Amino acid sequence: MNHKKIKDERIIQMNHKIQSEAFLLVLALIGISLFVKSNLLDLTLSDYMAELLIVGVALIYLMVRSVMIGHEMMDPSKHAKKLRIIGILGISLLVALSTGIRNYLLYEEAYTGIFDGYFLAVLGITFCSSILFTTLIFFLVSSVNQFGQKRLEKKINQEEE
């Protein structure tokens, strides 16, 4: 006889939660590794290309898989929109600061000091560019999310008929 072991729904959910946390931990560690290799160790792009590819493939897989099953990736509430704006500004600030520090260390002799007009202009341009790029990424993810939601609704409506 074939006996299938019955699994408790709570145990399955706990396993999924642990696996999700492990995935996020690995992505965070790879992100830290990328930052250290690119900014602190001053390695070339080819030296950390594997990490970039891993992060890129993982994020693309996560997005495509979420769309395929109709999972809502972005909360449409007003509070979540405020958090996204804060996130965009925070990410842009981090990018501008890390780029500014690296730029200053590489081209220190070209600047008269930390308040040099050119240095501040580079920071401002980097910050604005980062805001635009991050907003574009969030918009694309939101658009893909809406597509997945419509696809799921259509599938549910077809099953009900």
pLDDT tens by residue, 78-115: 888 888 899 999 999 999 998 888 888 888 888 888 88
Last residue of a domain, one of 69, 92, 118: 69
Mean pLDDT computed over every residue of the chain = 86
* One domain, residues 65 and 126: no
Report the number of distinct structural domains present in the chain: 2
Last residue of a domain, one of 69, 87, 111: 69
Structural domain range at position 46: 1-69
Phi, psi of 146 (to 5 degrees): -65, -40
According to DSSP, residue 45 is labeled G
Exposed e or buried b per residue across 91-114, where buried means at least 16 C-beta atoms within 10 angstroms of its C-beta: bbeebbeebbeebbeeeeeebeee
* One domain, residues 83 and 142: yes
Last residue of a domain, one of 69, 104, 128: 69
Regarding pTM above 0.85, the answer is: no
* One domain, residues 105 and 30: no
